[in-house]
């Protein structure tokens, strides 16, 4: 029996090929994978699938669907994306203390009868030549860059979980593909608002001024990558500042919404004034949560956003004026998002741009069976989509394992292509 895996060492977003040869024809083979993330070594993830060797005594994960196991579709990364942890608090643990300094190691084991073979993969979060500069004076952020390289700068704006440090792998891996990337938190850090609420847009004007003067990033246009609430912010900024010329957004919306704090105020302000926003009715959220609790089903926030939009009397005032942007736009959206109704919002964005004869590129990619899975692919298992809030109360971002795995990998690849053009 011969186990072949390529590549053994690679950036963590790169696909691998797993192939087993020199097997008895039609023999049953078990292939398993296991890993711990380097910043959460107490949480172990595992997966396994069973295959039948073909007439030539081969199993190729890029061409074969498992007979049974942790996933049931053809994907060379199926074992990686379908890993699960027996720890019920795995999600809470792995999103804290995130670091890009150490590699991720994955062990692959093949068993056929009494024969056994194994290999260990090293997955890098940052290329060897990429540097990191921590910025604390002018603003809070991390700039990932390559010395003596004339790379374009991308500002990365994460979503509502950005205060947990989950932004860093996105910025580090993206920079490893040939960009300067500024990972920019906008709440939850010292000197910033504690919650995603009443974030002053003037803060970003200072960031843009710094980018224009810094020798690594000066003299270049500003590009933005945003996700969820960060996508909302990215579109607001693009609609106001003409030097932002390229924007890709994961799970965007067309409206400004209430901030994510227990106050009925906007997410954003400018010169002390709140941007008009859609009010979220927490009674609808509580009612939906209780209904899901009674049915013992996962809950999400999409129902609340839909109901709030239906009841809103100020939709035009709260609408992000995307038609005022001067940027090429790429939207990634999904139909089963559990966080908000991003698909309807994205369709409205595209319709608005067509109505106003938008003069720049604007494209939308839709994922049918995905929730809100967007991230660097192959870091967190694609099935890690729920968080237990209380007994019988589980938050879900939506989507299926196959749908989320595909959306995460495909959107990441297309975003890099978009910024490379």
CA distance 179 to 319: 31
pLDDT band at 164 (very low <50, low <70, confident <90, very high): low
Tell me 162's DSSP state. Answer: G
pLDDT, position 204: 98
pLDDT band at 163 (very low <50, low <70, confident <90, very high): low
Q: What is the mean pLDDT of residues 388-395?
A: 85
pLDDT band at 369 (very low <50, low <70, confident <90, very high): very high
Q: What is the mean pLDDT of residues 207-226?
A: 92
pLDDT of 178 over the 70 cut: yes
CA distance 365 to 264: 33
Q: Which of 239, 202, 243, 199 is nearest to 223 (CA)?
A: 243
SS3 of residue 388 by DSSP? strand
CA distance 158 to 138: 20
Contact present, 387 and 87 (Cβ < 8 Å): no
pLDDT of 282 over the 90 cut: no
**Residues with Cβ within 8 Å of residue 262, at least 6 apart in sequence:** none
pLDDT of 87 over the 70 cut: yes
Instruction: Walk me through the domains of the chain, giving residue ranges and CATH numbers.
Output: 2-124 (2.60.40.2240), 130-420 (3.40.50.1820)
pLDDT, position 22: 97
Residues 106-128 pLDDT 10s: 999 999 999 999 999 999 999 99
pLDDT of 332 over the 90 cut: yes
pLDDT of 391 over the 90 cut: no
pLDDT of 165 over the 80 cut: no
pLDDT of 339 over the 70 cut: yes
pLDDT, position 285: 87
pLDDT band at 136 (very low <50, low <70, confident <90, very high): very high
Indicate the helix (H) or strand (E) that contains 157. strand 153-157
pLDDT, position 150: 85
Burial of 162 (0-12, 13-18, 19+ CB in 10 A): buried
pLDDT of 323 over the 90 cut: yes
pLDDT, position 28: 97
Contact present, 132 and 143 (Cβ < 8 Å): yes
pLDDT, position 1: 94
Taking residue 394's Cβ as centre, other Cβ atoms within 10 Å add up to 17
CA distance 192 to 202: 12
CA distance 394 to 305: 18
CA distance 31 to 129: 34
pLDDT of 56 over the 90 cut: yes
| CA angle (139 as vertex; 134, 140 as ends), nearest 5 | 45
């Amino acid at each position: 029996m011969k186990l072949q895996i390529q590549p053994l060492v690679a950036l963590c977003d790169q696909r691998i090929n797993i192939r087993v040869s020199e097997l008895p024809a039609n023999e049953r083979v078990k292939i398993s994978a296991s890993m711990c993330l380097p910043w959460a070594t107490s949480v172990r993830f595992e997966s396994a699938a069973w295959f039948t060797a073909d007439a030539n005594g081969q199993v190729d994960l890029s061409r074969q669907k498992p007979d049974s196991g942790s996933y049931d579709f053809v994907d060379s990364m199926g074992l990686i994306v379908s890993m699960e942890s027996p720890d019920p608090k795995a999600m809470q643990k792995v999103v804290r203390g995130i670091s890009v300094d150490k590699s991720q190691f994955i062990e692959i084991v093949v068993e056929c009868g009494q024969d056994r073979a194994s290999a260990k993969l090293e997955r890098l979060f940052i290329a060897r030549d990429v540097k990191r500069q921590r910025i604390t004076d002018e603003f809070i952020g991390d700039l990932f860059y390559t010395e003596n390289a004339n790379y374009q700068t991308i500002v990365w704006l994460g979503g509502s979980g950005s205060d947990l440090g989950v932004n860093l792998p996105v910025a580090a891996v993206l920079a490893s593909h040939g960009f300067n990337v500024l990972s920019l938190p906008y709440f939850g850090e010292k000197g910033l608002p504690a919650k995603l609420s009443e974030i002053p847009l003037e803060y970003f004007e200072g960031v843009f001024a710094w980018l224009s003067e810094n020798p690594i990033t000066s003299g270049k246009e500003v590009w933005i990558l945003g996700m969820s609430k960060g996508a909302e912010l990215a579109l607001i900024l693009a609609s106001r500042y003409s030097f932002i010329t390229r924007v890709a957004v994961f799970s965007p919306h067309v409206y400004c919404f209430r901030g994510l704090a227990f106050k009925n105020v906007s997410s954003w302000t400018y010169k002390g004034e709140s941007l008009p926003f859609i009010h979220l009715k927490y009674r609808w959220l509580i009612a939906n949560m209780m209904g899901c609790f009674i049915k013992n089903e996962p809950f999400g926030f999409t129902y609340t956003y839909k109901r709030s939009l239906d009841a809103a009397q100020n939709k035009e005032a709260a609408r992000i004026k995307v038609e005022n942007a001067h940027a090429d736009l790429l939207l990634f959206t999904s139909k089963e998002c559990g966080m908000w109704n991003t698909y309807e919002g994205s369709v409205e964005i595209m319709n608005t741009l067509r109505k106003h004869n938008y003069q720049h590129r604007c494209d939308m990619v839709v994922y049918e069976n995905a929730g809100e899975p967007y991230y660097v692919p192959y870091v967190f298992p694609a099935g890690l989509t729920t968080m237990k809030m209380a007994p019988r109360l589980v938050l879900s971002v939506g989507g299926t394992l196959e749908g989320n795995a595909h959306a995460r990998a495909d959107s990441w690849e297309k975003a890099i292509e978009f910024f490379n053009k």
